[in-house]
Amino acid sequence: MPYAGALKVLIVDDQNSVRQMTRLSLEEFGVRNVYDSGDGASALKFAGSQPLDLIISDYNMPEMDGLALLRAVRAHPVVRRLPFILLTGRGDKELVIKAAQAGANNYLVKPFTAAALREKIEQVVGKLQ
């Protein structure tokens, strides 16, 4: 059972306000090690250099979108098994299918509540302590 306080989460979103809101939600249920990144490329670089337990990435980003980041993570020699949750817009089933095929561990529709975020994280990494 992972301990929320020890969980290391990377948030990837090009919108600072969304990153910070996600960070607040995570902090609400005790996740203290939260990193964030504004684009896929630096997120990938960061994930390769730091131990992480989870990536929560938006889909809609310029240059490298969330799906491309997911694929790059899954192709990465070191972090390829890193749990990955993709944030999507409402009703984009096609994208969710693509994400599942690319190896996402779950998805979450924006906007979300802290409770919904926690639920998704628990589905992926197990019940949080």
Partner 1 sequence: MTTIDDLRTTFFDECDELLVDLESNLARMEEGDADVINAVFRAVHSIKGGAGIFGYDGLVAFSHSFETVLDLMRQGALESSSAAVATLLTASDMLSDLVSSARSGAATESEGRAQCQTALERLAAGSGAGDAPHTSGSGAESFDDIAFTPVQSDHFESTERHTIIFRPAEHAFQEGRDPLEALRALGQIGEVEIAADLDGLPALPDLVVDQLHIGWRVVLETAAARDEVERVLEGLPFASIAFPDEPLPSSFSVDDKPEPGDPAPGPAPTEPPAKAGEDERANEPRGRDATQRSTARIDLEKIDRVVNIVGELVIAQAMLGQIAQGLPDESRGQIAQVLDEVLHHTRELKDSVMAMRAQPLRTVFQKMPRLVRELSLKTGKKVRLETVGEGTEVDRTIIERLSDPLTHIIRNSIDHGIESPEARIAAGKDGEGVVTLSAIHRGGRIVIEVRDDGRGIDRDKVLARARERGLAPANAALSEEEVNNLIFAPGFSTAATVSDISGRGVGMDVVRSNIQDLGGRIALHSQPGAGMTIQLALPLTLAVMDGMMVRAGEDVYVLPISAIVECLRPQRSDVHALIGTRGMLRLRGELVPLVYLAELLSAASEARELSQGVVIITESSQSGRLGLVVDDLLGHQQVVIKNIEDSYGVIPGIAAATILGDGKVAFILDADKLADLAAAGFSPVRGAASAGVFSALSH
Q: Interface residues with partner 1 (CB under 8 A)?
A: 1-2, 6, 8, 10, 14-21, 23-24, 32-46, 48-51, 53, 58, 60-64, 72, 75-78, 81, 83, 89-91, 93, 96-97, 100, 103-107, 109-112, 116, 124-126
Compute the CA torsion angle 87, 55, 47, 41 (nearest 10 deg): 0
Closest approach of partner 1 to the CB of residue 52, in Å: 9
Nearer to partner 1, 64 or 67 (CB): 64
Whether the Cβ atoms of residue 12 and residue 34 lie closer than 8 Å to each other: no
Cα–Cα distance measured from residue 1 to residue 16, given in angstroms and rounded to the nearest whole number: 31
